[in-house]
Structures are given as structure tokens and as C-alpha cells.
A and B are shown apart, each in its own frame.
Chain A
Amino acid sequence: MARAVFHPRSAYAPSAGYRLLPLRFGRLDEHAYIVTNDVGEYVRLARDELVAFLERRLDSDTSVYKALKSRHFLYENDSSVAFDLLALKYRSRAERVAAFTGLHIFVVTLRCDHSCQYCQVSRQSEDSTAFDMTVEHADKALDLVFRSPNEHIKIELQGGEPLLNFPLVCHIVERARKLNEDHRRDLQFVITSNLSRLSDDVLSFCKEHGVYLSTSLDGPADLHDGQRPTRGGGSHRKTVEGIHRVREVLGLDRISALMTTTPRSLSRVDEIIDEYVRLGFHGIFLRSLSPYGFAARSLVKRYGVEDWLDFYKRGLSHILRINAGGYFLREEFTTILLQKMFSPLGSGYVDLQSPAGVGIGALVYNYDGAVYASDEGRMLAEMGDQTFRLGHLDEHSYEELLTSEALLAPLGETILEGMPMCADCPFLPYCGADPVFHRATQGDAVGHKAFSAFCTKQMGVLRHVIGLLETDAEARDILLRWV
């Protein structure tokens, strides 16, 4: 055989010149800009690199050029497969929208034995059944659940304190499972409870039907009890006891917890996180207060979004230290954003969807038979604003509910690509519309983002997280493990 002849690298170099693919850009921090595209790819670069790139004079030998090319921000005449791949990625992300409503929230009662200051809806009259959902409404709601085409269905039983209406919880779970014998969906149940009424009956029921539990834990005992008062006190002790019993009987992964940030939490983020670690949790959601309910509004006024961002950043660095020390703990809000960045399917988190997750991501069946497009929409209704009420179980069919103006108007308005400022924002692929938030704070579902605390929060967190990913290798390693 004749000696093989190999051609040098230069023989395969693309011809000179490139063209831009659709992209958005903006300032990341004092040092850098970021470009992103519709499918969630991003590149961090200096401003002069950005300008050179956009003016189509960036040197193809630079690493930033290669990154931009690899991530489909530019293409050369020699290779067009970028279009095939972009189209495919776009479609994969859009499929989540097409998957339609997967989360169904049943408010089985408004009664509650707690009187938390940040709660918008609970009624403390524990013996009045006027605030319980009826069996008839539950059955009608279940029929709607199985009308949704989603393969995965999650039914969340909420309140008030849902265990105060445990017979209806049992009815819903048993009937859903019976109906599912025909429908054969992937069906999951979660009870959102403060665990004060966690009895052996409840536990054995959950065990039998594979039900998950979700509870509220605001931090160490004094903080938790201070903001979650209950008759006789001791909410923290009861919650912790409940967590242990659930784990003993049902298994370690069967319970999760949520915290809410109040003005009193702000200075105590490390303690709050340590409390979660002490109790063996591997996830914590550093949640800011929602501006719904009068009491909550006055709390929100006592701290601004900048305060929460500071709280979040301190918390995140504490969480990263805990991970570096060998204990796996992920921050759930960060994880949602990371999923949007790195998972091909994005994230299904209802509050961060474009178009808005309302109705598409979740449906809420209220105790009185009213149907809402999201849990926050229901809370807004408790304050007298019926914008997000889709209709009523007694009056409207599935088709009527899901084509009602209350659903379609915000959906149409909240496609981020069409919203002022959002349309140009590099963080768009990782963000979402929150029409209820903007309705509650600015009076319309879109809102002016220059005045939006939601926007400030999103940008603040995204800038911080991307900054960590790009400049701190150890943090990046930990963060990527959360996806």
C-alpha cells in the first residue's frame, strides 16, 4: 500500500466569514456581557468581544468564537447542521407547553389550626364545615383531572390544613386511583400539611396509597413558632415529630419541607439552612414572600427584593460550603433555573413558564367549587380580585374552563417573546411570566419590568448563579450536580 497522505488542519478550515443566529444579549455584571439563544445556550464574554462578534469581525481562532459557534450563536457557510439542531432543541422545549396541565391542586378545606401571619387564605374556625369542599365538587374536579392529556398527573391536597378534612382526602385519593385503573396515567399524590394532625390512620393511609407529604418548616424553633402560631404553641416541635414519624413509617424520601422568608428570617439564613441539614433534608427552597393577602403585604413592605436577594446569596454560599463539606443539599429555586439552563427539556416549575404556567401548568379546585388558573390566582381572589378565576365546577365544562378569557388572556399576553423588555432580555430563556404577581403588584398581568420586583429578583438570582458558574469552578461543580 502506498504511504497514506494526511492533510493538515488548515485544509478543513471553514471559509472566511460568518453569520449571526437569533440571539439576545445584555450586561451580566460590571465585567462581562452574556449572550443567550432561544434554546437556553449561553456564552459569557467581554463587551468588546460582544461588539466584535455582532459586527461580524470576531477572529475565528479565539476560544470565544469557538464557544459561540459550538453553542449555535453563529454559523459559517460550510456547515448548516446548526439549523437542524436548533430546530430540534426548540421543539424539545416547546413540548413541555404541549404536555399541558399536570398539577391539580385540591383545596379540600380552608380550616386551619395555625394562624400564620403570611398566610392569605386560612380560616381558623376549625369546626365550621362551611369552608370544606363537598364530595360532589371533588368528584367533578376528578373528572376534569383525567380530561387533561398529560401522561404524568400530580394531585396536591391543600388547605387550610387538609388533614382537618381527612375523609375527603381519602375519598379523592381512592377515587382517583379507581378512575386511573382505566386511564393508566402516572399518578402521584401529595398532601401539604403542617403535620399537627398526623395520626396512625393518616400514616397507614399514605403508606397504602403511596402518598407523599409536604410540610412547612421556617427554621429553628423560635423563628418557626414566632411566625407560625397555633393554639397551645409548639408548631415546630409537632412538625419535627411529624417529619420523623413520616420517615419511620413511609420512608426517607416521602416528605419534603418548604420555608417562607419573613423580615425576621433575613438575618438568620445560615441557621435556617442548618436546621434543614440537622433534620436530614437534602433540599431547601429559599422562598420569598408572595405579595398576596393584606398581612403578607404589610410584611412585604418591611423588606424589599434587594433584602431577599442578599438573604438568598448568603444562603447559597452557606449551602455551597455544606456541599463542599460532603453533605448533599440543593437549593430548589436555583435548581429550577439550572434545569432551564442545562436540561434539554427545561423545567416544569409553574411560576417560571413562558407562556405563563397558569392553567397549562396547574389547575386549582377551590373548596367552594371555583376553578383557578394557579394557586396564587386563588389567593388573589381571596382578596377580591377575580382575574384568574376560570369558572365553577357546577357551571362550566372542561372545554369552557380551559378556553375562558381568564386563562387565554394572560396566556396570550405572557408569551415573553412579546413582552416589552422581556423580548430583548438575555435571561428570557431561563425566566417566565408571572401574571398573578404582576396583576397583584401593578394591576395588569404583564407589568412594567423596570418596576417589577419579580424581574429584579429573577435578574439578581440569574446574574449571581451564572457568575458563579463562570468564575468559580468548585461552585460550578456543585451546582451542576443539582440538575
Chain B
Amino acid sequence: MRAEDPGADAPFVFRDGCIGVTVDVRAYRLSAVQKTAYRLAAKCTAIIGEVREHSLVVTLTFSPTTGEREALETARLFFQELLDQELREKVGEQTASLRALILAHAFSRTSLPPRG
């Protein structure tokens, strides 16, 4: 799946109140999938399955009141969020040590804040 166009080639099927989606674990790490699932908790319950080959199956389970259109929209949203979440993980990796550095600098003695 290309990063720019989430879910374009993945026609979702809504059956028995569920949509199964497949995530390529070479493109997305598990923590990104978990955070996405948490974020969408008000819309659906995401059951994260096991990894086979490079695929992770996630079953989005909806409440009985959720209609098909809404469910398909949520599946689309799932991939959109997943993309953002994966980007966040990458940004976090690149900047975590810098954040620590800035904090250390902020509270070091040499960096007393100027006061008029």
C-alpha cells in the first residue's frame, strides 16, 4: 500500500457488523496500529490479530446501531489515522533524544531565564 493513498486498492467489506482490514507490518509498526485502534475506540472496537507473512489482520467491530456507510467511512479513517500514527512514530524516533536534550538544557543552571 502506498503511503499517499490509504486504502485505495483495498475495498472494505462490511459483514456481520465487522470489517476486516489487513495491515502490512513492513510499512506500519504494531504500536502505530494499537494507537490507531485506541483513537477510534468511540467508533469501533479494533481486534488486533496475529501477524502472518507480512500481514496483520485487524477486525473492526461495530455496534449494532452502526450502518454500513458509517462503518466503511470508519475503515477509511482507520488507514488515514494509521498513516498519521506511523508518521508520528517516525518523528518520535528522530526527535526523542533532542527533546531530552532541550529539557536538560532548560533546567540546567547555565540556562537561567532572563528576567527584565
Contacts and interface: CB of A to CB of B under 8 A. Distances in A.
Contacts of B38: 420-421, 448, 450
A310 interface: no
Interface in B28-47: 35, 38-42
Contacts of B103: 87, 90
B94 interface: yes
Interface in B73-102: 84-85, 87-88, 90-91, 94-96, 98-99, 101-102
B42 A22 contact: no
A205 interface: no
A83 B102 contact: yes
Nearest to B3: A51
B94 A95 contact: no
A88 B98 contact: no
Interface residues of B, number: 28
Given A20-B95, A21-B95, A87 B105 contact: yes
B65 interface: no
Interface in A49-107: 51, 54, 83-84, 86-88, 90-92, 94-95
Contact of B106 (A21, A94, A451): A94
Contacts of A420: 35, 38
B89 to A, nearest CB: 9
Nearest to A93: B106
Given A25-B84, A91-B113, A19 B94 contact: yes
Nearest to A75: B98
B88 A22 contact: no
A20 B41 CA distance: 30
Given A23-B95, A424-B35, A424-B88, A87 B41 contact: no
- Secondary structure at chain B's binding surface: helix, strand, loop or mixed? helix
Contacts of A51: 3-4, 87
Indicate the member of A21, A22, A25, A51 with the most B CB atoms within 10 Å.
A22
B84 A26 contact: yes
Contacts of B41: 448, 450-451
A428 to B, nearest CB: 12
B47 to A, nearest CB: 16
A447 to B, nearest CB: 12
B2 to A, nearest CB: 12
Contact of A450 (B40, B85, B94): B40
Given A450-B39, A451-B42, A90 B95 contact: no
B105 A22 contact: no
A139 interface: no
CB-CB nearest 8 A-B residue pairs: A87-B105, A87-B106, A22-B99, A450-B42, A90-B106, A22-B95, A450-B41, A91-B106
9 contacts: A22-B98, A23-B91, A51-B87, A88-B114, A95-B113, A421-B35, A450-B39, A450-B40, A450-B41
Given A94-B107, A421-B38, 8 more contacts: A25-B84, A38-B99, A83-B101, A84-B105, A87-B103, A87-B105, A88-B106, A421-B39
